[in-house]
């Protein structure tokens, strides 16, 4: 794109001309309210009283034969008029005055000024502008500037003032520049890469598609959780095809002025058509593609709707848009307008999901090329221990591990540092400096021992990874578990066991200290949420059958009414209470049956502070699910 276009230069020229006209009118005395008009008689009186402050400015118009005097007049501060003399002792101030003299009085006045010893500065005028005409021209100039600021040049025309309506898309010219990203730089999302491969083929050889009557999708919507590589995939498509690539965020279309977003959208597509075939990438498209008639309309904000309407027309309107492929990314596809998702606009949705075990290994290997590892570092083990991590999370993990290795003055990133970096990302940084009493340490040890014991005893829980009484994040302690493999779905037994694990901390505290603390607040919330999801979302509660009672989707800031009656709500609450109470009772029985092992684990935690899952198993002499799970 050009650094400074002709419309932008014209904008600045118009502003400079308007400013020059305004200053010129002001300096020529068009501000009538700035002067006090005196008659010749009043001026002679003030001159005789010595209240005229010299020097005066005498403006002579030789064409009309008139003379005008302008100057300052001393008055008492409490007197507002020009006809009263300032009395002694009063503070004085000056006001500006003006006297218009007819030709017959001019000679007399000049003699009076000479006699009083008042000097004058003479300025000749040949063509004075009448006050009415001057004000009229000033008003016309002001209206022209106002139109320029708020009229069609602001939002509707190309560019707009200061380029406000100009597209802010970043252009990477793939034919001239070396591609910064290719498919080789994208790992862990093989299925998504395969889906967009044909777009690259079309951009490279469009004639082969047209020969057979095929039509490439006009738009591709990349959908997936944050950090999964949607933006990276779009860059790789442009890098592989070696075509111009326009990149813009959805929020870049919006400004405080209505119409700017529409102007930027039109300008971006106009630039893209000039460079077709090319790619237009819009990140976070949900900021401008939100469903119309929703929260924005309710609050009176229609700016994004105008931008969306413009985009709909540009993608599939009356004008042909051949060779421009729009790629957009979002993690909120449910909020997008249906007109945006129909065939002819975003024809295809590509799901960019969280990486599997194999994908995590590939991502760690790709980012690990820049990392120096110690001999004991095992990327595959790290991949197994990071289920649910996105590509951005894995890159951050390696970076955190590298920073920790530097602080430890290690020669390379070892396995212990990798595990520590993962735990920091998942559960927060250890706060070893947080001082708390011996009683608090003991209570925390009982609490975490209760969780850890149930994690081992119950059959359908995830393997115990680590238990610690060192504060992490906002928690005083933590019991950590990690799944053995990628989990695509959970069954009812898992949720029932997970509720039992949540109850274990409170039960152990009460059983061995005789008191209950606030440490179980998060456990209570988690157990309640699991039970409510079982009843309302997964139809795993009793007495409701195959029904869902999830709350309908609502726009931010607006609470949607429940989709069921008050009687049903009472039944849901009763079922949630039953599930939680049964889990609590079941957990009590298991802990009571393993009281001796719980005491041993709690005392060991007070001494060691942190124990690995395998250490806990060796201490208690049992494996996960091998105990009294059905008690």
Catalytic sites, residue numbers: 448
CA distances 116 to 84, 98, 119, Å, are 19, 18, 9
What's the rounded Cα separation, in Å, for the pair 217 and 236?
Answer: 18
Are 199 and 220 contacting, i.e. CB atoms less than 8 angstroms apart?
yes
- The span from the CA of 418 to the CA of 404, in Å, is 9
Length of the chain: 631
CA separation for the pair 38, 95 (Å, rounded) = 12
CA distance to 46, 48, 357, 361, 565, per residue, from 380 (Å): 100, 104, 9, 6, 51
Q: Which residues contact 184 (CB under 8 A, 6 or more apart)?
A: none
DSSP string, 127-189: SPPPHHHHHHHHHHHHHHHHHHHHSTTTTTSSS-GGGTTS---EEE-TTTSPPS--GGG--S-
Structure-token pair, residue 77: 């501060």
From edge to edge, which strands make up the β-sheet containing 92-101? 36-38, 92-101, 66-76, 52-61, 120-125
Measured at the CA of 447, the angle between CA 630 and CA 500, to 5 degrees, comes to 30
8 A C-beta contact, residue 348 and residue 217: yes
Structure tokens at 71: 């100057």
SS3 for 492-514 is HHHHHHHHHHHHHHHHHHHHHHC
SS3 579: helix
Residue 99 DSSP SS3: strand
What is the Cα–Cα distance from 246 to 323, expressed in whole angstroms? Answer: 13
Longest CA span, the chain: 124
Bridge partners of 36? 97
């Amino acid at each position: 794109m050009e650094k400074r276009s002709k419309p932008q230069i014209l904008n600045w020229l118009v502003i400079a001309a308007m400013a020059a006209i305004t200053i010129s009118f002001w300096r020529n005395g068009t501000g009538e309210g700035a002067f006090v008009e005196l008659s010749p008689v009043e001026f002679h009186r003030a001159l005789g009283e010595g209240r005229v402050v010299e020097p005066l400015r005498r403006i002579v118009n030789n064409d009309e034969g008139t003379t005008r005097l302008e100057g300052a007049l001393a008055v008492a501060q409490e007197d507002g008029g020009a006809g009263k003399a300032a009395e002694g002792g009063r503070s004085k101030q000056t006001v500006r005055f003006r006297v218009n003299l007819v030709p017959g009085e001019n000679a007399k006045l000049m003699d009076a000024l000479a006699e009083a010893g008042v000097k004058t500065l003479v300025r000749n005028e040949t063509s004075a502008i009448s006050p009415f005409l001057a004000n009229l021209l000033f008003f016309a100039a002001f209206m022209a500037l106002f139109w320029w600021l708020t009229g069609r040049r602001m939002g509707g025309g190309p560019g707009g003032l200061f380029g406000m309506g100009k597209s802010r898309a970043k252009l990477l010219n793939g034919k001239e520049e070396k591609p910064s990203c290719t498919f080789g730089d994208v790992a862990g999302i093989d299925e998504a890469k395969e889906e967009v491969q044909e777009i690259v083929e079309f951009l490279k050889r469009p004639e082969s598609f047209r020969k057979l009557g095929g039509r490439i999708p006009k738009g591709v919507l990349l959908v997936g959780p944050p950090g999964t590589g949607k933006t990276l995939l779009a860059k790789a498509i442009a890098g592989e095809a070696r075509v111009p690539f326009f990149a813009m965020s959805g929020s870049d279309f919006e400004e405080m002025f209505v119409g700017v977003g529409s102007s930027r959208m039109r300008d971006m597509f106009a630039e893209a058509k000039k460079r077709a075939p090319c790619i237009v990438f819009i990140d976070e498209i949900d900021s401008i593609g939100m469903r119309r008639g929703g929260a924005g309309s309710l609050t009176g904000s229609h700016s994004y709707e105008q931008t969306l309407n413009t985009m709909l027309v540009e993608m599939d309107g009356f004008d042909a848009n051949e060779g421009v492929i729009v790629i957009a990314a979002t993690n909120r596809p449910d909020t997008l307008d249906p007109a945006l998702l129909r065939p002819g606009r975003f024809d295809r949705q590509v799901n960019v999901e969280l990486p599997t075990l194999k994908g995590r290994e590939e991502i760690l290997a790709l980012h690990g090329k820049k990392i120096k590892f110690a001999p004991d570092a095992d990327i595959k083990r790290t991949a197994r221990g990071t289920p649910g991590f996105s590509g951005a999370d894995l890159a951050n993990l390696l970076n955190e591990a590298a920073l920790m290795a530097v602080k430890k003055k290690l020669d390379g990133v070892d396995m212990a540092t990798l595990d520590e970096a993962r735990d920091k990302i998942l559960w927060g940084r250890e706060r070893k400096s947080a001082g708390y009493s011996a009683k608090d340490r003991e209570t925390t040890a009982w609490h975490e021992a209760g969780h850890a014991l149930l994690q081992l005893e119950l059959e359908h829980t995830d393997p115990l990874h680590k238990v610690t009484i060192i504060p992490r994040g906002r928690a005083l302690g933590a019991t950590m578990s990690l799944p053995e493999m990628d989990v695509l779905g959970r069954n009812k037994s898992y949720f029932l066991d997970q509720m039992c694990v949540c109850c274990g901390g409170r039960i152990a505290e009460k059983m061995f200290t005789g008191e209950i603390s606030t440490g179980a607040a998060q456990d209570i919330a988690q157990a309640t949420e699991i039970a409510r999801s079982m009843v309302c979302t997964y139809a795993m509660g009793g007495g409701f059958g195959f029904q869902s009672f999830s709350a309908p989707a609502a726009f931010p800031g607006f609470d949607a009414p429940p989709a069921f009656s008050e009687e049903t709500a009472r039944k849901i609450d009763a079922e949630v209470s039953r599930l939680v109470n049964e889990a609590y009772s079941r957990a009590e029985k298991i802990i009571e049956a393993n009281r001796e092992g719980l005491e041993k684990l709690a005392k060991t935690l007070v001494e060691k502070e942190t124990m690995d899952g395998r250490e806990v198993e060796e201490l208690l002499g049992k494996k996960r699910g091998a105990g009294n799970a059905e008690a």
